[in-house]
């Protein structure tokens, strides 16, 4: 974490599949120095039948009552190596930087009772990423990390820019990533040609009906 000027005392283990309601490493700054914290991702549903609130749209976060105070004063950096997205219910993709390096999402820290929660900022997808999903996380370049943490709301608004699709590469991964209990490096292994061919054959024969008690993750950046 030297890259961010923070010290992490806990023995952090690699994560390969962080789901809503789980804790994740984020960088937050309220004083002179940034600090690493482990809030949970998303606000619990406000009513029965609704989903966790895990994202904030960059186009409206500064004005929306749920997010406006956090956007003005409590922004954070969400550290990741990539993200998963589904182009169809059974077609997950892994998306990473073109050089495979560290990725940082713009996020917001929100109070929830005595806890802290965080959400990830999103933007309309750019370029070829639109073929996978209509939204993408707000990925911040290194020069924007400190201004995102400590700048004004106006500074943050200027940093709300969707990065072009040529910043990234992406590839198909297996359906195990949709099971929140799965968390291992094989999740980011690309599907080989044989697996893709078998998937296409199965899809052409039968389209499985959606299960009402499905435990798979849904859209992460919708």
Whether 177 is covered by a domain: the verdict is yes
Distance CA 20, CA 134 (A): 20
Whether 56 is covered by a domain: the verdict is yes
Mean pLDDT in consecutive groups of 10 residues from the start of the chain, 222 residues:
75 91 95 94 88 96 97 97 94 97 97 96 97 97 97 98 97 95 96 84 61 57 70
Distance CA 186, CA 179 (A): 13
Whether 137 is covered by a domain: the verdict is yes
Whether 121 is covered by a domain: the verdict is yes
Distance CA 84, CA 15 (A): 13
Tokens of 193: 């040609």
Neighbours of 36 (CB within 10 A): 19
The answer to whether residues 154 and 138 touch, using CB atoms and an 8 Å cutoff, is: no
Whether 222 is covered by a domain: the verdict is no
Whether 220 is covered by a domain: the verdict is no
Residue 12 is predicted with a pLDDT of: 81
Helices within the chain (DSSP H only): 68-73, 142-150, 153-159, 193-205
Q: Which residues contact 3 (CB under 8 A, 6 or more apart)?
A: 102
Residue 215 is predicted with a pLDDT of: 53
Domain extent for 131? 2-42+51-205
Residues, the chain:
222
Residue 219 is predicted with a pLDDT of: 67
Q: How many domains does the chain have?
A: 1
Q: Which residue has the tokens 């990533």?
A: 177
CATH code (residue 70): 3.90.1680.10
Distance CA 97, CA 53 (A): 25
Distance CA 121, CA 75 (A): 10
Whether 214 is covered by a domain: the verdict is no
Residue 50 is predicted with a pLDDT of: 85
Residue 155 is predicted with a pLDDT of: 97
Whether 90 is covered by a domain: the verdict is yes
């Amino acid at each position: 974490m030297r890259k961010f000027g923070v010290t992490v005392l806990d023995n952090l283990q690699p994560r390969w599949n962080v789901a809503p309601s789980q804790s994740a490493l984020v960088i937050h700054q309220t004083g002179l120095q940034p600090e690493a914290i482990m809030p949970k991702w998303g606000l619990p549903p406000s009513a029965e039948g609704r989903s966790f609130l895990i994202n904030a749209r960059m186009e409206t976060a500064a004005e929306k009552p749920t997010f406006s105070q956090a956007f003005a004063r409590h922004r954070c950096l969400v550290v990741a190596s990539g993200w998963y997205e589904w182009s169809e219910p059974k077609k997950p993709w892994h998306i990473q930087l073109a050089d495979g390096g560290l990725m940082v999402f713009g996020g917001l820290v929100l109070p929830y009772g005595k806890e802290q929660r965080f959400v990830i900022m999103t933007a309309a997808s750019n370029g070829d990423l639109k073929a996978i999903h209509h939204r993408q996380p707000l990925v911040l370049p290194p020069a924007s990390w400190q201004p995102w943490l400590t700048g004004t709301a106006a500074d943050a608004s200027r940093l709300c820019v969707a990065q072009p699709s040529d910043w990234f590469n992406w590839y198909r991964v297996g359906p195990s990533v949709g099971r929140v209990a799965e968390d291992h490096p094989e999740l980011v292994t690309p599907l080989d040609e044989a697996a893709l061919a078998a998937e296409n054959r199965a899809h052409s024969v039968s389209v499985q009906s959606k299960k009402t008690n499905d435990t798979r993750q849904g859209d992460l950046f919708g």
